[in-house]
Chains A and B, each alone.
Chain A
Amino acid sequence: FSSPVVVVSRTARRTESLGPRRARVSSVAMSEVEATLQRINGHKGVLGTIIVNEDGEAVRATTVCDKNGVPVADQNAVVKQMADLLPALASMARNMVRDLDPSNDLRFLRIRSKDHEIMVHADTEFTLIVIQNPAAAE
């Protein structure tokens, strides 16, 4: 994640087309993003957080741990897998919500499995994925 990244929030959308100003405007947004990620990741039971951009690339990820709190061996692979699979599933969920009612829209998706719970907020610009251990969180 060392390449320059612009996290485009709704309020900063216009800056996407500007060249040299990109770094100045995005530094404020970046620190907010980092602070938010750290805040989320600090919650009890959170095993990892990943932000995926609209191209399907993970632009931010905290260390992903398993349910015992041990960092997963192959971080890049896990992050890449989640970045590939979860936006696709969120997209299917959005389609299903719209099939049921065209005026409705997806807000949030929670997938609870045996080992952990994955929470997904899917936006057109980015996807936020938070993995938590539901037992610890409760």
Chain B
Amino acid sequence: WLAQPTGTGKTSATRCSSSVEMSEVEATLQRINGHKGVLGTIIVNEEGEAVRATTLCDASGAPVEDQSGAVAKFSSLVPQLASMARNMVRDLDPQNDLRFLRVRSRDHEMMVHADPEFTLIVIQNPAAAE
């Protein structure tokens, strides 16, 4: 939905200015965030700025204290790792490409869809989701 080609090479800012697209984005984010166990969702643009973020919670469901700080950390670190994963996939086979990345840690699981135009990060509590 965010990455639908407009065919005119418009910037992401222009593309996202459509109110129809924005509402679809919001609806999608809310749908994802409503899944059991999801602790937060963040959309990062190609410049590394978080353009959408739902309230990040910890494993017990309590909102994280420093929301901006947490979102900024995710926005800076996760796209970099996704980029390294993409490079690795291409090193193994130049015709292959990264589709999805899941990083499971002790406390939560991060699911990352990385696109040239945006990165979608969903954080979930894997125990709750299972």
Which residues of A line the B interface, CB within 8 A?
78, 81-82, 85-86, 88-89, 92-93, 96-97, 99-101, 104-116
Contact = CB atoms under 8 A, between A and B. Distances in A.
A112 B100 contact: yes
A113 B103 contact: no
B25 interface: no
B57 interface: no
Contacts of A85: 88, 91-92
Contacts of B105: 97, 101, 104-107
B53 interface: no
Interface string B92-106: 110011111111111
Interface of B: 70, 73-74, 77-78, 80-81, 84-85, 88-89, 91-93, 96-108
Given A99-B77, A101-B107, A92 B101 contact: no
A92 B84 contact: yes
Contacts of B74: 100
A113 B89 contact: yes
